[in-house]
Amino acid sequence: MSNVVLGIERLLAERRPLIAGRRLGLVAHPASVDRRLEHTLDRLLAAGADVRVLFGPEHGFAGEAQDMVAVGGARRGPRGLPLVSLYGATEETLSPGPEHLAGLDALVIDLADVGSRYYTFVWTAVLCVRACHRAGVDAIVLDRPNPLGGEEIEGAPQREGFLSFVGLLPVPNRHGMTIGEIARFAARLDGTADALTVVTMEGWRRGMPFEETGAPWVMPSPNMPTPDTATAYPGQVLLEGTNLSEGRVTTRPFEWFGAPWIDGYVLARELNALGLPGVGLREAWFTPTFSKFAGGRCGGCQLHVVDRETYRPVATTLALLEVVRRLYGAKLELHADYFDKVMGTSAAREGLLAGKSWQEIAAGWQAGLAEFARKREPWLLYSQ
């Protein structure tokens, strides 16, 4: 097992001048910990840093809020510090305002991401850098591993008209970048690079499985309990834009999926017959305690990733939607507003409804993926 040195660890060991004698804000959540499970806030305070205010992303600084639940505004947070939510009920609440940054010299951003475009923490970081640039405050991003690695990219970069807080820039569903790399990429496009410093990791390689980093896994959000969840998430989160349960608030969110009108045995048989790479499907029955079909019995499958290197999560989910539609017809609903926003294009939904195969739909991504790979190359920070 490698001992990857995380951004917070390098900041305190090698780059203390970035924070010494400066008035700081901190953007963090429960997964903002070092290899000893000590939280970044406590590490900074123990080092004598002058932390003045805390900011919480989606799910809150303490990680207690469920998916898409707005968190209230300013209040008191850990250690008695002021706490500002960056996930309220309006677009304006997604960024720190000038009144929140007033009196600060630097904003430290330490958020664990899961490598999928729709996971909002990278975009919180990007919005914070923009706000710091406007306010004349330094933004310091402490980098962390992408649990999906940094080699494979998959899915369609968003088309014009589909940018949102689940994708502020045209990047594919699985982008293969760390939060520090996304911040650099965005800052160059935004013209805000003068406000940004990324404290890189030491020892992380793009092809490194998360389990080899030596970093502990702490849930960055309530429905992301394990690295296995993160592996399935880039594809299975698309089910949020359908009338299938994605298994939220079960013991295996995004690995279990189904609906009351599905026969799990039949679905598993049909999906396994496709020979999808790196994954096996097992008949499963479950009762969601939240969200779709709460309290109702669902039939479906559990998705088991057996080879992360060959598994393609987005293509796999399109394949299962193709099969569900073939088996159950109009019972499957694809909600254009949400499905298209998360997918970043209407082409996938339109293709499924037109009877296109998942292979045909995935083939349509390739030109955009090649262009994105070229564009991201100058901003990558780590080797293979």
Same domain, 337 and 236: yes
Looking at residue 250, what is its pLDDT? 84
Same domain, 95 and 120: yes
Looking at residue 293, what is its pLDDT? 92
Residue 336 neighbours by CB under 8 Å, 6+ apart: 346, 349
Looking at residue 307, what is its pLDDT? 96
Same domain, 218 and 289: no
- C-alpha–C-alpha distance, residues 148 and 309, integer Å: 10
Same domain, 279 and 196: no
Same domain, 154 and 267: no
Task: Band the pLDDT of 189: cuts 50, 70, 90.
Answer: very high
Q: Is residue 1 part of a domain?
A: no
* Alpha helices per DSSP H over the chain: 7-14, 40-46, 98-101, 121-135, 179-190, 227-236, 264-272, 313-328, 336-343, 347-353, 358-363, 366-376
Task: Band the pLDDT of 77: cuts 50, 70, 90.
Answer: low
What is the residue-wise DSSP string for 173-227?
Answer: SB----HHHHHHHHHHHHT-GGGEEEE--BS--TT--GGGS-PPP--SSTT--SH
Would the pLDDT of 148 be above 90? yes
Same domain, 57 and 192: yes
Same domain, 78 and 163: yes
Would the pLDDT of 299 be above 80? yes
Q: What is the mean pLDDT of residues 92-109?
A: 96
Same domain, 231 and 321: yes
Task: Band the pLDDT of 288: cuts 50, 70, 90.
Answer: confident
Looking at residue 65, what is its pLDDT? 53
Q: What is the mean pLDDT of residues 77-81?
A: 79
Q: Is residue 384 part of a domain?
A: no
Q: What is the mean pLDDT of residues 20-29?
A: 97
Helix (H), strand (E) at residue 82: strand 82-85
Q: Is residue 369 part of a domain?
A: no
Q: Is residue 197 part of a domain?
A: yes
Domain total of the chain: 2
Same domain, 209 and 248: no
Q: Is residue 358 part of a domain?
A: no
pLDDT tens, 219-233?
999 999 999 999 999
Q: Is residue 363 part of a domain?
A: no
Q: What is the mean pLDDT of residues 293-314?
A: 96
Would the pLDDT of 63 be above 60? yes
Residue type, position 142, single letter: L
Same domain, 207 and 311: no
Q: Is residue 178 part of a domain?
A: yes
Task: Band the pLDDT of 66: cuts 50, 70, 90.
Answer: low
Helix (H), strand (E) at residue 300: strand 298-305
Q: Is residue 24 part of a domain?
A: yes
Same domain, 257 and 231: yes
Task: Band the pLDDT of 73: cuts 50, 70, 90.
Answer: low
Task: Band the pLDDT of 380: cuts 50, 70, 90.
Answer: very high
Q: What is the mean pLDDT of residues 36-44?
A: 97
What does pTM read for this prediction? 0.95
Which CATH number belongs to the domain containing residue 293 in this structure? 3.90.1150.140
Both tokens of residue 116? 């999928």
The mean pLDDT value of the chain amounts to: 94
Do residues 96 and 128 make contact, with C-beta atoms less than 8 angstroms apart? yes
Which CATH number belongs to the domain containing residue 154 in this structure? 3.40.50.12170
Q: Which domain holds residue 292?
A: 227-353
Looking at residue 343, what is its pLDDT? 94
User: Percentage of residues in the chain with pLDDT exceeding 70?
Assistant: 96
Same domain, 122 and 240: no
